[in-house]
Amino acid sequence: MLWRKRLFAHLYPGLSARHEALVAERKRALFREALRRARPERVLEIGPGPGTNLAHLPEGVAYLALEPNPFFHPRLREEARKRGLALTLLPGRAEAIPLPGGSVDLVVATLVLCSVADPEKAIEEVHRVLRPGGAYLFLEHVAAPKGAPLRLLQEAATPFFVFFGDGCHPNRKTLAQIQARFPRVEAEAFSLPLPVVAPHVAGLAFKE
């Protein structure tokens, strides 16, 4: 429903501020490594929201953004303008990226696979649009180990998160899904002092 998307876009910057502070240094290091190794000229970001990650991109790259929530678009355009990035907004969803195969050097998706309808299909699309040698930068909250008290809480909280969090699922085993499609994955698991969504993974996956 549009009212939920509007509400989520309004609340998200405030809700995400603590998370961004907690992952700031890790995210900076991850982007530095991705830029060094992929040397991108064309960057696709899936689910950029208000454009938080644009601060990590150098001027001059062609920045393509697939953001299905239209209420983020005004802030995303303004952030791109301030950063000196030429923004191209793409229609569609992560499961059907409207780009040719092998057409981008770097795909960025942070806190995205929790909320897509079909994460395996989204990962397949990321792989398809990357050029050989290109990189996929990810940072996601993930499911706690099966049987752990936190996992039970995640399962119970999932319907609430889906309804109010624009489709967010706190109980997804995201790293295994990425590794199933990308044989070469460099990832780190870590935990943040957050309720329900404490377990995280971050890293780079490379297309051979």
Q: How far apart are CA 95 and CA 123, in angstroms?
A: 8
Average pLDDT in the 80-84 region?
94
pLDDT digits (tens, 9 = 90+) for 3-22: 888 888 888 888 789 999 99
For the chain, which residues make up each domain, given as ranges?
2-206
pLDDT value of residue 192? 98
Q: Regarding predicted confidence, which is higher, 163 or 64?
A: 64
pLDDT value of residue 105? 98
Specify the DSSP class assigned to residue 143: P
pTM for this model (two decimals): 0.95
Strands of the 199-206 sheet, one edge to the other: 86-90, 62-66, 42-46, 104-110, 130-141, 199-206, 184-191
pLDDT value of residue 102? 98
pLDDT at 1 over 80: no
Q: How far apart are CA 3 and CA 70, in angstroms?
A: 11
Task: Output the CATH code of domain 2-206.
Answer: 3.40.50.150
DSSP H/E element including 207: none
Per the structure block, which two tokens stand in for 63?
Answer: 């920045």
